[in-house]
Amino acid sequence: MSGSRLFDPVQLGPLRLRNRVVMAPMTRQFSPGGVPTAEVGDYYVRRAEGGVGLIISEGLEIAHPASVHSAAIPDLHSEAALAAWAGIAARVQAAGAAFVPQLWHVGGYRALVADRPRPDVPALSPSGLYRPGERIGAPAGDGDIAAVVEAYARAAAAAQAIGCDGVELHGAHGYLIDQFLWAATNRRTDGYNGDVEARSRFAAEVVAACRAATSPDFPLFLRFSQWKTQDYGARLFSTPDELGRFLAVMAEAGVDVFDCSTRRFWTPEFDGSDRTLAGWTRRLSGRPTMTVGSVGLDSDVVASLHGREQHSGVGRLDELDRMLARGEFDLVGVGRALLADPAWVHKVRRGALEELIGFDRAQLEVLT
C-alpha cells in the first residue's frame, strides 16, 4: 500500500494533515478525577510518532454535571485538565499529527451506571428514556437543554484557546445528541421532535453554539451513526433523502467534517447501491467525510468488544484501498488496530502487514 491514497496529505479548511489516517476516538478511562495523566499523554503521542495524520481524543466531559458516567473519564473544563490537554496537544503536534478533542455527553446512559460521579444528579435525556420502554427519569426541560448547549460551546472555545486543531461532537451510538435524533428515544411533543429537521434541532443548536464560540475556520467534526449501543440494528435514516435532509441542517449549522461511524466500513448503507454511509454523506453534503468501523481488522467492533471474539486479526486493507481510490471518503478512522499497534501506519505504509499486531480485548485494560 505504499502508493495508496491513504498516505496522501489532505486539506480540511486551514488544517493540513500529512495523511488520511485518523486515530478514532476510543473511551479509555485512565484519567482519575477527570485529569489526563502523563501516561495518557504518552499514549496519544506514541500514535502521533507512529505516523497518524490526526488524533481524535477519547470522549471528554463537558461542564455539565450529568455529562459522563465515570470519574476516570477526562474532562475539558477544569483548570488542571485544560493544562494537561494543552501539553498533550502540543506534544502530538510536535510529532507531526493534528489533535482534536471529542466532546461528549452520555445522556441517558448515565442512569445505568451505579458508581457514576455526582450520583444525586439525574441522567438527562430528551424524553426520560434510555431505550424504548426503559424509563430512566423525567424529560429534559428547556433549561436543561440550554445548559447543555452552553456547556458544549464553552468546551469548544476552551479547545481552541489551548491550541487544539478543531473539535468533534459525539452525536452517535445512542448518547445524548443521538437520543434526540432517534425517534425511538425522542418522544417529545415540542419543536425538538417530529420530522427529520425537528429531531435534528438539538444537534443543530449544539453545532451552531460551538461555531459561534470559535473562529469561523476552526474545524468542527460531527460523529453520527445509525446503530446504537441500545440497538445495533437501529436506523435514523431509511432513505438517502432522509439522510440528506439531516446533513443539510448540520452543514447549515456549521459542521465541516462528518465522522460516519459504522460497525463495518465496507457495508452498503441503502438498498440498490454499494455506497457506504460515508460515501452517501460525502455525496449528499459535499463535505469531507471519515469512514470508521473495523478498519484493518477481520471482526467488527461489537464482536470483539462485547464478548463473541477475544482476538481480531488483520483484514480488508485491500478493500479499504479500493474504496479510497474511487473517492468514497476522505479520512479513515482507525480504532482497535491502532490501540493494538501504535506503529500501524508505518507498517502498513511499507507493506509490512505480517508485522501488524491484531487486537485483543486484554489491551483495553492497559495504556500502551
Cell output for 258: 462528518
Q: Considering the candidates 44, 130, 175, 192, report the single residue annotated as catalytic.
A: 175
Contact 3, 345 (CB under 8 A): no
* Backbone CA torsion sign across 195, 196, 197, 203: positive
Which amino acid, one-letter code, is at 16? Answer: R
CA distance 9 to 18: 4
Is 152 one of the catalytic residues? no
Q: Give residue for cell 455539565.
A: 64
> Can you tell me the distance from the alpha carbon of 107 to that of 237, in angstroms, rounded to the nearest whole number?
21
Radius of gyration of the chain (CA): 19
Rounded CA-CA distance 207/148 in Å is 12
In 3D space, the residue among 247, 248, 275 whose CA is nearest the CA of residue 262 turns out to be 275
Place of cell 505516523: 51
What is d(CA 140, CA 113) in angstroms, rounded to the nearest whole number? 19
Cα–Cα dist 123/119, whole Å: 9
The three three-digit cell numbers of residue 38, written as one number: 502523563
Positions annotated as catalytic residues are: 175
